Amino acid sequence: MAISLFYLILFILSIIAECILLQKIANRRASYYVALFTLISVVCLAYFAYSISLDTGMALVANQFSYLDGTFVMMFFIFCILDICNIKVTKWFAFPMTGIGLFFLGLAFTAGYNTLFYKEVKHSTYAGSAHLQMEFGPFYTPYVIYVVIMMLIPIGLVIYSSFNKRKISYKYTLALGGLLVAIVAMYFVESSVGLGFDILPSGYVLMEYVILAVIHRLGLYDISQMAVNVSENSKDYGCVVFDTQKCYVGANKTALFYFPELNELDIDREVSNLWIKEEFVNWIDEFDDGKNVSKRYDRNGRSLRCTIKPYVFGKNVAKSYGYIVEIWDDTEQQKLISRLNEMNDELAQALDSANSANSAKSQFLANMSHEIRTPINAVLGMNEIAIRECKDDSLIPYMEDIREAGHNLLTIINDILDFSKIEAGKIDIIEDNYELGKLITDVVNLVDVKVKDKGLELIVKADESLPSVLYGDANRLRQVMVNLLNNAVKYTHEGSVELNISANYIDEEQIGLNIVIRDTGVGIKKDDLDKLFESFSRVDEKNNKNIEGTGLGLSIVNGLIELMHGNIKVESEYGKGSTFSVCIPQRVIDKNALGELRRWHKVKKEVIQHIDATGVNILIVDDTRLNLTVAKGLLKPTKANVTVCASGAECLELLKKQSFDLIFMDHMMPDMDGIETLHNARELPGISLDNTIFIALTANAITGIRDMYLREGFDDYLSKPINPKEMEDIIQTYCLGE
Ligand code: ADP
């Protein structure tokens, strides 16, 4: 008895294990089928054992096992049909069913011990097969009623499904229902007609094959299954399934929510709703034609992205069982994207207005500095004339102060102009061959006086093996070096300023020109190093407040170096000095060594030896009266015959009456500018200008401008503010001979 109890407990434990397994495994539906098929096999085996049983005991045991059919085979069959009908098997249904099944199975298995199920059994044979004759106990009839109910449930389900063809593939439920009717019929035929043997097992096996047939056509079943799974797994993800014939197979809840038109469709039938036909079925046609595009729909206030893909089953990717339209709710992303786009637009607008504000600022600075240049030109020119003509020596120092202040102002104006051009991206790097030695000497000459004036030592070291001729923008390079050297001088009170030129790298074609400017000055605090190249920013203002500056120099230097593809580094020790290291790539033209630098010298007071241009007829054309006065005054010592006029038109009139040896022509004039005037002059009928030299006068002092004027027909150009020496040199060259 104890051993039997032990086995019984084992049995119960194993049933519990199976229940747990059914709860746990992911594809619970598949497990219904596995359980059903396993039970049918056991039942068939039981019928077999029953048929070959030799005595009552053996037959009874086999008979007891065969009761698995009325209990659990039917139960799992119902589960399967529920599943096919898309009805969830809840535990409220599954647990009582299992309980009742176990109860009747328990009765059957204790048949030899009590008379509840069988009152009496007797072993016999019928048609060569073992057979039990039995007298039924009081619980047998309830069992029969239970079995009948178990059979009626699927029939009810089939009827239900026939009314719900929008939800259920009723073809299959009908097939299973038919089978069920056949089994019920078998049951009753067998028990009423008394065939003498059970034909029910054949019904069960038939059941297996009908289910297999359904499963075989089941691409369909699986896809709809998948749709259901998906609906359980995700709310955002909808899917609509069509079979290979583009018949509707099913859709999950999410899809039905967004596309209620789907509710009108019959499962396994052609799509009847026009909208779905046009939107989805035609789309599938296009998909078949190789177009794979996603679609967007706005439904129920959500933004949906729909994609289409073939439904492949398991590993066999070659075979498609149909199509799945997937529906993704990406409203939040769309909102983010459109917000992002809005923000981009706003940013672009902000950038636009910042840019236009910036270019307005740059334009303003450029205009302003140009406007200031003109009067400064007059001030410096007039001052120059005053110095020359002044008879009272005591006034000269004042005038020299005006000259110095004027030049300082000019430097600031030039800086502003450069800065605004760099900001506006309007600065061009104009490259040409240049002699490195001359460049260095020029630079040194420019700063030498200042260094000496401050009582500092100027140390110049240039690697003698450097190539003598390079290709690059010598003017901009000079500007960078002078700027850094001027700063070094400005911010050093004692000690030295050093300029060191060497090669960072050099090969056949290129050199990385290293320019190091070192000073023993006030130095820069570590925290300030980052701010150094910001425009308009001056650092350590408290200590440097007596030193003039705009805070533009280094940002211009930085901008120019960037344009020349170089880099600049600063090292500094506060209170001890700073080192600015610049490296700029330049092309090597002549590899011959630079050699020793020529001595540089600066004559403190240039004594101009004026030329004698007696008899030379000069015309000056400029729309600014002051400029005319300056130019005329500057030419006074040359004794040339100077005529002035204030416009292109006047110039043309003069040319008709008189011939000139040399004409200084302002470029920027209202109405007819200098270039137009020149072109028109050359067209004047009957007037030969073969012996007239045209010199462009321009405030446009950038390198390369000379070529432009030569192309336009000028013989040369002179930049403003006019350098008297250069002006006289031009007259000397073109009118008096070298
Ligand atoms: P600024 O016109 O004021 O000289 P810069 O742009 O040339 O403008 O320089 C910016 C700041 O960097 C200066 O105000 C100064 O504080 C600092 N600076 C530049 N060069 C040196 C140097 N050689 N030694 C110490 N400080 C320097």
pLDDT digits (tens, 9 = 90+) for 403-434: 878 887 887 888 887 887 787 777 778 888 99
CA-closest candidate to residue 256, choices 272, 241, 245: 241
DSSP SS3 for 723 = coil
Distance (Å) of CA 70 to CA 25, 85, 634, 725: 26, 22, 128, 125
Q: Looking at the predicted structure, is the pLDDT value of residue 233 above 90?
A: no
The finding on whether 29 has its CB within 6 A of some atom of ligand 1 is no
Mean pLDDT of all residues in 158-168: 72
Test site for ligand 1: of 538, 556, 568, 571, most ligand atoms within 8 A of the Cβ: 538
Nearest CA to ligand 1 atom 19: 487
Test site for ligand 1: of 515, 554, 560, 568, most ligand atoms within 8 A of the Cβ: 554
Block residue for tokens 């899917």: 239
pLDDT at 202: 81
User: What distance in angstroms lies between residue 361's CA and the mean position of ligand 1's atoms?
Assistant: 23
Test site for ligand 1: of 485, 493, 532, 558, most ligand atoms within 8 A of the Cβ: 532
The torsion angles phi and psi of 57, rounded to 5 degrees, stand at -60, -50
Please check whether residue 117 is in contact with residue 140, taking contact to mean a CB–CB distance below 8 angstroms: yes
pTM: 0.48
Query: pLDDT band for position 681 (50/70/90)?
Result: very high
Report d(CA 435, CA 467) in Å as an integer.
9
Report d(CA 346, CA 335) in Å as an integer.
16
Nearest CA to ligand 1 atom 25: 523
Please check whether residue 603 is in contact with residue 448, taking contact to mean a CB–CB distance below 8 angstroms: no
User: What distance in angstroms lies between residue 441's CA and the mean position of ligand 1's atoms?
Assistant: 24
The finding on whether 489 has its CB within 6 A of some atom of ligand 1 is no
Report d(CA 68, CA 198) in Å as an integer.
14
The finding on whether 544 has its CB within 6 A of some atom of ligand 1 is yes
User: What distance in angstroms lies between residue 420's CA and the mean position of ligand 1's atoms?
Assistant: 19
Burial of 477 (0-12, 13-18, 19+ CB in 10 A): buried
The finding on whether 419 has its CB within 6 A of some atom of ligand 1 is no
Q: Which tens digits make up the pLDDT trace of 169-228?
A: 666 677 777 777 777 777 777 767 666 667 778 888 887 787 777 666 544 444 455 545
User: What distance in angstroms lies between residue 414's CA and the mean position of ligand 1's atoms?
Assistant: 17
Other Cβ atoms within 10 Å of 261 Cβ, number: 17
Distance (Å) of CA 537 to CA 542, 550, 551: 13, 8, 5
Which helix (H) or strand (E) covers residue 321, if one does?
strand 316-329
Q: Which tens digits make up the pLDDT trace of 485-537?
A: 999 999 999 999 999 999 998 888 899 999 999 999 999 998 888 888 877 66
Which residue intervals of 637-704 are DSSP H helices? Answer: 648-657, 674-683
Report d(CA 629, CA 640) in Å as an integer.
15
Atom of ligand 1 nearest to the CA of 415: 2
Query: pLDDT band for position 687 (50/70/90)?
Result: confident
Q: Looking at the predicted structure, is the pLDDT value of residue 445 above 60?
A: yes
Which helix (H) or strand (E) covers residue 43, if one does?
helix 28-51
Dump strand ranges (E) for 351-495: 432-435, 457-462, 467-472
Q: Which tens digits make up the pLDDT trace of 166-182?
A: 666 666 677 777 777 77
User: What distance in angstroms lies between residue 491's CA and the mean position of ligand 1's atoms?
Assistant: 7
Q: Looking at the predicted structure, is the pLDDT value of residue 602 above 50?
A: no
The finding on whether 540 has its CB within 6 A of some atom of ligand 1 is yes
Please check whether residue 458 is in contact with residue 497, taking contact to mean a CB–CB distance below 8 angstroms: yes
The finding on whether 697 has its CB within 6 A of some atom of ligand 1 is no
User: What distance in angstroms lies between residue 554's CA and the mean position of ligand 1's atoms?
Assistant: 7
Report d(CA 693, CA 709) in Å as an integer.
13
The finding on whether 219 has its CB within 6 A of some atom of ligand 1 is no
Report d(CA 418, CA 478) in Å as an integer.
14
Nearest CA to ligand 1 atom 11: 538
User: What distance in angstroms lies between residue 496's CA and the mean position of ligand 1's atoms?
Assistant: 17
Choose the weakest-confidence range: 21-35, 549-563, 717-731: 21-35
The finding on whether 550 has its CB within 6 A of some atom of ligand 1 is yes
Q: What is the 3-state composition of the chain as percent helix, strand, coil, each rounded to the nearest 5? A: 55, 20, 25
User: What distance in angstroms lies between residue 557's CA and the mean position of ligand 1's atoms?
Assistant: 11
The finding on whether 577 has its CB within 6 A of some atom of ligand 1 is no
Ordered DSSP codes for 225-271: HHHHHHHHH-SSEEEEEEETT--EEEE-HHHHHH-GGGGGPPTTS--
Query: pLDDT band for position 25 (50/70/90)?
Result: low
Report d(CA 520, CA 337) in Å as an integer.
57
The finding on whether 491 has its CB within 6 A of some atom of ligand 1 is yes
pLDDT at 110: 86
The finding on whether 487 has its CB within 6 A of some atom of ligand 1 is yes
Report d(CA 250, CA 599) in Å as an integer.
96
Nearest CA to ligand 1 atom 14: 538
The vertex-437 CA angle with 431 and 441, nearest 5°, equals 105
More confidently predicted of 19 and 463: 463
Please check whether residue 304 is in contact with residue 329, taking contact to mean a CB–CB distance below 8 angstroms: yes
CA-closest candidate to residue 309, choices 365, 230, 233: 230
Q: Looking at the predicted structure, is the pLDDT value of residue 51 above 80?
A: yes
The finding on whether 524 has its CB within 6 A of some atom of ligand 1 is yes
Distance (Å) of CA 6 to CA 101, 102, 448: 21, 17, 114
Helical pair 331-389 and 625-635, crossing angle rounded to 10 deg: 40
DSSP SS3 for 684 = coil
CA dihedral sign, ordered 183, 132, 59, 128: negative
Average pLDDT along the chain:
83
The finding on whether 495 has its CB within 6 A of some atom of ligand 1 is no
Q: Which residues of 346-359 are buried (b: 16+ CB within 10 A; e: fewer)?
A: eeeeeeeeeeeeeb
Distance (Å) of CA 22 to CA 15, 17, 223, 527, 566: 10, 9, 22, 71, 74
The finding on whether 613 has its CB within 6 A of some atom of ligand 1 is no
Beta strands 510-519 and 577-593: pairing type? antiparallel
Which helix (H) or strand (E) covers residue 202, if one does?
helix 200-216
Residue 66 C-alpha from the chain's centroid: 70
> Amino acid identity, residue 33?
Y
DSSP SS3 for 356 = helix
Q: Which residues of 653-684 are buried (b: 16+ CB within 10 A; e: fewer)?
A: ebbeeeebbbbbbbbbbeebebbebbeebeee
Q: Looking at the predicted structure, is the pLDDT value of residue 1 above 90?
A: no
Test site for ligand 1: of 524, 529, 548, 580, most ligand atoms within 8 A of the Cβ: 524
User: What distance in angstroms lies between residue 424's CA and the mean position of ligand 1's atoms?
Assistant: 23
